[in-house]
């Protein structure tokens, strides 16, 4: 009994990703010894911060039985509009910036929810449409120009550090305090998904929406919460991106939805809904992040990246699907 449980843990999807990550890290360290340093964690954390925020929200959406490809567009709108408005009116308030960003995200999230939950439009097409509308409005009414001089309190946030690490080569690496956002977010989502009825309801509607309705869950309400929450988080993540990049660019994040979905799916979340774990998503993001940021250290040319990521997702989903089929076929206890 105990042995079989160990076996189950060691052969689970998540452990599989851990193995790949470990192998990848060892390989990179052998080729580039500088990789095996605390500084790597600091740079990676900075690079993956925004993706982490997106990925966990995407996971929640997929668990609930939907999908959302409008994150990047929401983020772009939520970072660009407040900065534009602030510049125009000489406002400089970092708290207000984040509230503004969250509000924009909330509005777009509500639009998504209305289309998907009330009007029953397939989630992919609905969010794709919303994404394009958002992007179009942003570029039409606010322009396409990058704003590199942020209001000072917002820019200052970039220089708030948790700690600074000095590498052997004498370079200073500072951990941004914004890393607390995904850390708190992940802890909160872990608790909500696992220990609240709201979280269990999200799993329930993704597993069998009809059974959930019979059991007495308010399916529409749950869907609204999911899309509204991910809208708000996408907005906040957008503002963080702006801070980290010291510039407001209305286009940079576009196209990143693929990476987000990839990370979530590789982390073991089933596209059909109802399954997915916080830990898996972290691992998925780290794996995809390593490939994107550090594969080059292995001597793999950058133009291989897209393909490698694609191959990892295909293999990841194929394994998940095959396991799913196996569960369906060989019953049962």
Residue list 226-245, contact with other proteins (CB under 8 A):
none
CA 275 to chain centre: 16
Torsion of CA 209, 219, 317, 283, to 10 degrees: -140
| 3-class secondary structure, 267 | coil
Task: Give strand pairing partners of 248.
Answer: 147
Of these, 34, 99, 133, 297, which contacts other proteins (CB under 8 A)?
Answer: 133
- Evaluate whether 233 touches 245 at the Cβ level (below 8 Å): no
Q: Does 147 bind other proteins (CB under 8 A)?
A: no
Candidate residues 186, 217, 229, 241; the one interacting with other proteins per rule CB under 8 A: 217
The verdict on whether omega for the bond into residue 219 sits within 30 degrees of 0, i.e. cis, is no
Counting contacts by CB under 8 A, is residue 146 touching other proteins? Answer: no
Output 178 or 193, the one with its CB closest to other proteins.
193
Return the residue matching tokens 């992007």.
135
Count other Cβ atoms within 10 Å, centred on residue 318.
Answer: 10
Q: Is 308 in the site for other proteins (CB under 8 A)?
A: yes
Q: Footprint of other proteins on residues 67-126 (CB under 8 A)?
A: 67, 115, 119-122, 124-126
* 16 lines the binding site for other proteins (CB under 8 A): no
Q: In whole angstroms, how close is the CB of 168 to other proteins at the nearest point? A: 33
- Which tokens belong to 70? 């409008």
Tell whether residue 188 is a contact of other proteins (CB under 8 A). Answer: no
Q: Quick check: 139 binds other proteins (CB under 8 A)? A: yes
211 is a contact residue toward other proteins (CB under 8 A):
yes
The candidate with the shortest Cα–Cα distance to 133, out of 125, 146, 113, 53, is: 125
Q: How many residues form the binding site for other proteins (CB under 8 A)? A: 75
| Nearest to other proteins of 67, 236 (CB atom) | 67
Q: Which is nearer to other proteins, 16 or 304 (CB)?
A: 304
Q: How far is the CB of 254 from other proteins (least distance, A)?
A: 10
Q: Using an 8 Å Cβ cutoff, are 243 and 158 in contact?
A: yes
Nearer Cβ to other proteins, position 148 or 306? 306
- Angle, to 10 degrees, between the axis of helix 197-207 and the axis of helix 38-63? 60
- The number of C-alpha atoms within 13 Å of 306 and in the hemisphere containing its C-beta is 4
Helix pair angle (305-329, 13-31), 10° resolution: 160
Interface with other proteins (CB under 8 A), residue from 44, 161, 165, 207: 207
Beta-carbon neighbour count of residue 141 at 10 Å?
A: 9
CB of residue 175 vs other proteins: minimum separation in angstroms?
A: 31
Token pair recorded at residue 71: 């994150």
Closest distance to other proteins from the beta carbon of 67 (Å): 7
State which of residues 2, 4, 301, 329 lies at the interface with other proteins (CB under 8 A).
Answer: 301
Other C-beta atoms closer than 10 Å to the C-beta of 84 total 18
Listed in sequence order, the residues at least 6 apart from 142 whose beta carbon sits closer than 8 Å to its beta carbon are 80, 81, 84, 250
Interaction mask 259-288, other proteins, x per CB under 8 A: --xx--x-----xxxxx-------------
Closer residue to other proteins in complex, CB, 173/257: 257
Contacting range for other proteins; rule: CB under 8 A; set: 51-59, 88-96, 128-136, 226-234: 128-136
Closest to other proteins by CB, 165 or 190: 190
> Is residue 219 near other proteins by the rule CB under 8 A?
no
């Amino acid at each position: 009994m105990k042995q079989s449980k160990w076996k189950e843990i060691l052969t689970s999807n998540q452990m599989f990703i851990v193995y790949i990550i470990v192998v990848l890290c060892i390989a990179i360290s052998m080729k580039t010894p500088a990789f095996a340093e605390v500084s790597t964690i600091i740079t990676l954390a900075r690079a993956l911060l925004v993706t982490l925020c997106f990925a966990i929200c995407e996971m929640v959406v997929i668990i609930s039985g939907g999908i959302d490809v409008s994150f990047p567009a929401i983020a772009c709108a939520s970072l660009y509009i407040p900065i534009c408005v602030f510049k125009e009116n000489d406002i400089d308030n970092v708290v207000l910036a984040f509230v503004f960003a969250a509000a924009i995200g909330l509005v777009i999230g509500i639009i998504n929810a209305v289309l998907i939950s009330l009007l029953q439009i397939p989630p992919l097409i609905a969010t794709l449409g919303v994404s394009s509308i958002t992007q179009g409005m942003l570029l039409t009414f606010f322009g396409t120009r990058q704003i590199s001089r942020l209001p000072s309190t917002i820019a200052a946030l970039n220089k708030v550090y948790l700690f600074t690490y000095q590498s052997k080569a004498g370079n200073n690496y500072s951990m941004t305090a914004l890393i607390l956002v995904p850390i708190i977010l992940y802890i909160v989502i872990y608790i909500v998904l696992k220990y609240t009825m709201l979280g269990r309801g999200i799993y329930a509607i993704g597993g069998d929406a009809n059974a959930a309705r019979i059991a007495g869950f308010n399916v529409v309400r749950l869907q609204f919460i999911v899309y509204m929450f991910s809208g708000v988080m996408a907005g906040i993540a957008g503002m963080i991106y702006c801070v980290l990049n010291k510039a407001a660019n209305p286009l940079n994040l576009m196209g990143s939805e693929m990476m987000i979905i990839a990370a979530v799916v590789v982390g073991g979340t089933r596209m059909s809904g109802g399954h997915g774990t916080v830990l898996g998503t972290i691992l998925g993001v780290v794996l995809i992040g390593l490939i994107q940021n550090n594969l080059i250290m292995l001597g793999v040319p950058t133009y291989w990246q897209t393909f490698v990521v694609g191959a990892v997702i295909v293999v990841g989903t194929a394994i998940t699907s095959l396991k799913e089929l196996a569960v369906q076929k060989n019953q049962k206890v």
